[in-house]
Structure 1
Amino acid sequence: MEFGHFLVFFMTALISSTVSASEDHVFVQTGGSVKLVIKNKIPPHFTRFTWINDKSENVVRNQSGEFKPHSSYKDRMDFNAKTYSLTLRNMQKTDSGLYRAITRDKQELCHAEYNISVIDPVDSPVLKGNFTMISVNVCVVNVSCSGPDQTISHSYHSNDCTQEEVTSSGVQTLALYCRKNRVVCNYSNPVSWKNQTIEINQLCTPYEKEHPEENNSSFPLFLWLSVIAGVFVLVFTAVSVFCCSYKKRKRVYLS
């Protein structure tokens, strides 16, 4: 029993000597900035404070009471000596990794821990569509929404554009949906987003222009022109015959 109490005491002491802040995953756009703040209270006395990354580089550390930055961060960092917060600028993909704020004295304590991922903004997605006429004024539009390494697709009716959303999972996310007769293809990641849109009616319009006889219930224009031309010819002919007949009768009467 005494051994059990001793074991519990030993484990408690061991855990307390390696106190660690919970890790936060932070996404930063390439070329952007990030501010790392202290989560756990800094003790009033310690022999050394360090912001360190998983490459074992001391991003900033105190030496003889003076805080000094690592050479690779010297011109792109700000350190607050009162709050111990660290701001990193112009972040590059090589800066991705784990960053920890540590004090050392009789024991080592972790006061903040950040897992930083530096990623590029997304490219514009590619939205493609084709249609199938199912009646005179209604078509079905089949659309595909593509990123560099994934594609999602769906079909929408031109007279029934729903807001149903189709999505893909992962850090890079594709989303495809239709709203107010407009299909939207959205491509995003934790630091950026871009989209492409297309009007459903614009996809159906080319068909209507090529086949107006199937989409226009009114009398065709060329037939109207033919009727008007025929009427004009008949009227002109009738007037000509009448004039000739009148002249002949006039001559007979005068003679």
Structure 2
Amino acid sequence: MEGDSVTLHINIRHIPRYYMRYIEWFGPENNHLVRVIRLEKKTDEIIYHEDDMFSDRLQIDNQTGSLTIRNIRTTDSGLYRMNSHVSRELFNVTVYARLPIPVITRDSSCSSSSSGSSSVFKCVLLCSVFKVSHVTLSWYKGNSLLSSISVSDLSSSISLHLEVENQDNNTYSCVINNSFIDQTEHLDISQLCQTYADHIHCYSFSETVIRLVISAVVGVATVAIVVYDIRSRRAEKK
């Protein structure tokens, strides 16, 4: 994982010290191997090469010859090779970026559906992650996958919607993962949806039509009363 310390283990203890002259390690740079560090066994002198690439993050064990890379970065991924005049070993290192924790927010959308004589409030949620690549973002209901979206190239953000009823008691979670690790954020429906539903009433289509009709009837009736009142007053004056 990015930020970890990684040790590439070898062991030269079984080789007599007088026979072991040097150990040198090569690391990846632009798809090529370049010498990064050398240990002179007779004097235990350590010589650093290409220091700009690792910025003092390398450490070599003068007893075993193992190489440690501190605070490893994704750019350190690639092939590493240990050379000595008696042996050679290869290591393939893959460094994974740490995944952010998904952020679940309530969408501003409002919807509802009728169930018998009552209207059920629908809560529209949005799960988002930012600055990620080669990941999949998914919604789960319990252990069942509901929906997912994947990106390969670096993306500024990816989001995935979910619509639930405010009285839903199921367990939902949003998961981001790559081939190595995952991060999960669990949904608290009571916090994001039920409190919102107490303050905002969302009408279904039929409720909306009925309310418009009632408003129109009331408006027409009000106009009729005003007109009748004006005509009555004019008649009285005459």
TM-score when normalising by structure 2:
0.51
Distance 1:168 1:115, change over 3 A: farther
- Who is 2:112 aligned against? 132
Deviation per CA, 1:108-127: give whole Å up to 9, x if none: x43341323263x3334343
CA distance in 1, matches of 2:85, 2:161: 52
Identity %: 22
- Who is 1:183 aligned against? 172
- Who is 2:35 aligned against? 58
Distance 1:102 1:175, change over 3 A: farther
Asked which structure has the greater CA Rg, the reply is: 1
CA distance in 1, matches of 2:195, 2:113: 11
Amino acid at match of 1:207: A
Determine if the alignment matches structure 1 residue 206 to structure 2 residue 196.
Answer: yes
- 3-state DSSP of counterpart to 1:132: strand
CA distance in 2, matches of 1:194, 1:162: 12
Distance 1:205 1:81, change over 3 A: same
- Who is 1:163 aligned against? 143
TM-score when normalising by structure 1:
0.48
CA distance in 2, matches of 1:42, 1:175: 57
Q: How far did residue 41 of structure 1 move?
A: 9.5
Q: 4+ residue stretches of structure 1 with deviation over 6 A?
A: 39-42, 170-179
More strand by share: 2
CA distance in 2, matches of 1:68, 1:80: 10
Determine if the alignment matches structure 1 residue 49 to structure 2 residue 23.
Answer: yes
Distance 1:41 1:187, change over 3 A: farther
Unaligned runs of 5+ in 2: 203-238
Q: How far did residue 34 of structure 1 move?
A: 1.5
Amino acid at match of 2:80: Y
Q: Report how many residues are paired.
A: 175
Deviation per CA, 1:40-67: give whole Å up to 9, x if none: 9976655542221123333332336235
CA distance in 1, matches of 2:126, 2:55: 47
- 3-state DSSP of counterpart to 1:117: coil
Q: Single out whichever of 36-45 and 110-119 deviates more from structure 2.
A: 36-45
Distance 1:151 1:43, change over 3 A: closer
Deviation per CA, 1:11-69: give whole Å up to 9, x if none: xxxxxxxxxxxxxxxxx31x432122138997665554222112333333233623514
Which one of 66, 77, 82 corresponds to residue 96 of structure 1?
Answer: 77
CA distance in 1, matches of 2:8, 2:25: 10
- 3-state DSSP of counterpart to 2:72: coil
CA distance in 1, matches of 2:55, 2:196: 60
Unaligned runs of 5+ in 1: 1-27, 213-255
- Who is 2:185 aligned against? 195
Distance 1:95 1:151, change over 3 A: closer
